[in-house]
Amino acid sequence: MNVAIVKYNAGNTHSVYLALQRLGIEATITDEAELLKSADKVIFPGVGEASTAMNYLKERNLDSVIKELKQPVLGICLGMQLLCKHSEEGDTETFGIFNNAVKLFKSDSDKIPHMGWNNISLNPSPLFNGVSNAEYFYFVHSYYTEASMETKAVCQYAGIEFSAALQKDNFYGVQFHPEKSSDQGAKLLKNFIEL
C-alpha cells in the first residue's frame, strides 16, 4: 500500500504519519506531484492558515494536481477546508471540490477556537464503518464548513451545526483530527486505507 501525505508546511503532517505508522503503514510525506499521482491513497492534512497554505500549493502547482487525483483523498481539518470552494480566512479561493463555504465561528458565549472532544452525528459513509453514531472526536478549529448535501457527519458548536465530514466521489474530508482521536480515529484512518 503506497500512501502519500501532502507536504505543504501544515502543522499536523508528522502526527498523521505517526498515526499511520501505529497502524503498520509506512507513508511518504511529499510535495512531489508524481509521488502524489502514483500513490494508492493520498492524505491532505493541515493545521495552519488558508491563504498561506494555498499560496504554497499554487507555487508548486499542487492545487491542480490534487484536484485531478482519481484515488481516494482524505482532507483533515485545514486540508478538508481547502477542498471547499472559499474560506473567509484571508478571503481565500480554495479548491472547489466540495461546494461548501468555510466561515469563521462567531460567539459571545463559546470559546473560539472550538477545541476539544465533541460527538458527531453520522450519515452513511465507508469512512465510518464500525464507528458508533454520537462517537467523540477531537477538534481544533476557528473556521467551520457549512453543512450540505455532501455532509457525512455533523457536529454542533457555538449554536451552529457544521460539517464534521464530507464526501464527494473519491474525495473525503474530516474537520476533526483522527490522528488525535484515540481508537475511533485510528478506525477511521484504517477505513480510509482499506477503501
Catalogue the active-site residues: 77, 177, 179
Distances (CA, A) of 48 to 68, 73, 81, 89, 143: 23, 19, 11, 10, 11
- Rounded Cα gap, residues 13 and 68, in angstroms: 22
Q: Which set of grid coordinates corresponds to residue 49?
A: 492558515
For 161, the 3-state DSSP assignment is strand
Q: Is 130 left (phi over 0), alpha (psi -120 to 50) or beta?
A: left
Distances (CA, A) of 14 to 48, 66, 145: 14, 20, 24
For 184, the 3-state DSSP assignment is helix
Q: Would you call 119 exposed, middle or buried from its count of C-beta atoms within 10 A (0-12, 13-18, 19+)?
A: middle
